Amino acid sequence: SSIAFPKNFFWAASTAAYQFEGAHLEDGKTLSIVDKNINPNYANTSVTSDHYHRFEEDVALMKELGIKAYRFSISWPRVLPNGRGEVNQKGIDFYKKLINELRANDIEPLATIYHFDLPACLQEEYGGWSSRKIIDDFAYFCKVLFKYLGGQVKYWFTINEQSNMFLLPYLMEFNKELPLEKQKYEMNHIMTLAHAKAIQLCREMVPDAQIGPAIGLSPNYPETCRPEDIQAAREADDFRTYLFTDLYMYGRYRDNVWRYMEENGITPTIQEGDMELLQSAKPDLLGINYYQSRVVKYASETMGNKDMTINVHGKKGETEFEVVPGIYQGSSNPYLEKTDWDWEIDSIGLRTLLNDLNDRYQIPIIITENGIGGVDKLTDDEKVHDQYRIDYLKMHLEQCRLAIGDGIQLIGYCPWSFMDLLSTTSGFRKRYGFVYVNRTDNDLKELRRIKKDSYYWYQEVIRSEICD
Residues 11-31 as b/e (b if ≥16 CB within 10 A, e otherwise) read: bbbbbbbbbbbbbbeeebbbb
Q: What is the DSSP letter of 130?
A: G
Closer by beta carbon to ligand BGP, 73 or else 130: 73
State whether the Cα torsion 348-350-355-360 is positive or negative. Answer: positive
Closer by beta carbon to ligand BGP, 327 or else 345: 345
Closer by beta carbon to ligand BGP, 170 or else 361: 170
Q: How far is the CB of 195 from ligand BGP (least distance, A)?
A: 16
Which amino acid is located at 296 in the chain? V
Q: How far apart are CA 316 and CA 341, in angstroms?
A: 6
From 119, 373, 412, 415, residue interacting with ligand BGP (rule: CB under 6 A): 373
Q: How far apart are CA 70 and CA 137, in angstroms?
A: 27
Gyration radius of the chain over CA positions? 21
Closer by beta carbon to ligand BGP, 88 or else 425: 425
Q: How far apart are CA 101 and CA 212, in angstroms?
A: 24
Judged by CB under 6 A, how many residues of this single chain contact ligand BGP?
Answer: 14
Instruction: For residue 83, state whether it binds ligand BGP (rule: CB under 6 A).
Output: no
Piece in contact with ligand BGP (CB under 6 A), picked from 253-261, 294-302, 357-365, 420-428: 420-428
161 flagged as catalytic: yes
User: Cβ distance 257 to 243 under 8 Å?
Assistant: yes
Piece in contact with ligand BGP (CB under 6 A), picked from 191-199, 218-226, 377-385, 416-424: 416-424
Residue 335 has a CB neighbour count (10 Å cut-off) of: 8
Instruction: For residue 425, state whether it binds ligand BGP (rule: CB under 6 A).
Output: yes
Q: How far is the CB of 344 from ligand BGP (least distance, A)?
A: 14
Region 140-169 residues binding ligand BGP, contact defined as CB under 6 A: 160-161, 164
Active-site hit among 186, 322, 369, 398: 369
State whether the Cα torsion 15-18-24-27 is positive or negative. Answer: positive
Piece in contact with ligand BGP (CB under 6 A), picked from 4-12, 45-53, 381-389, 419-427: 419-427
Closer by beta carbon to ligand BGP, 327 or else 419: 419
From 12, 16, 65, 435, residue interacting with ligand BGP (rule: CB under 6 A): 16
Instruction: For residue 416, state whether it binds ligand BGP (rule: CB under 6 A).
Output: yes
* Ramachandran quadrant class, 12 (left: phi over 0; alpha: psi -120 to 50; beta: rest): beta
Closer by beta carbon to ligand BGP, 430 or else 439: 430
Instruction: For residue 428, state whether it binds ligand BGP (rule: CB under 6 A).
Output: no
Q: How far is the CB of 21 from ligand BGP (least distance, A)?
A: 13
Q: How far apart are CA 101 and CA 269, in angstroms?
A: 44
User: CA distances (Å), 12 to each of 61, 91, 187, 365, in order?
Assistant: 13, 24, 31, 14
User: CA distances (Å), 454 to each of 338, 348, 387, 461, in order?
Assistant: 20, 21, 7, 10
Q: How far is the CB of 164 from ligand BGP (least distance, A)?
A: 5
CA 307 to chain CA mean position, Å: 20
Q: How far is the CB of 341 from ligand BGP (least distance, A)?
A: 7
* Ramachandran quadrant class, 212 (left: phi over 0; alpha: psi -120 to 50; beta: rest): beta
Piece in contact with ligand BGP (CB under 6 A), picked from 26-34, 299-307, 394-402, 424-432: 424-432
Instruction: For residue 229, state whether it binds ligand BGP (rule: CB under 6 A).
Output: no
From 218, 289, 331, 399, residue interacting with ligand BGP (rule: CB under 6 A): 289
- The residue ranges that bind ligand BGP (CB under 6 A) are 16, 19, 160-161, 164, 216, 289, 369, 373, 416, 423-425, 430
Give the active site residues: 161, 369
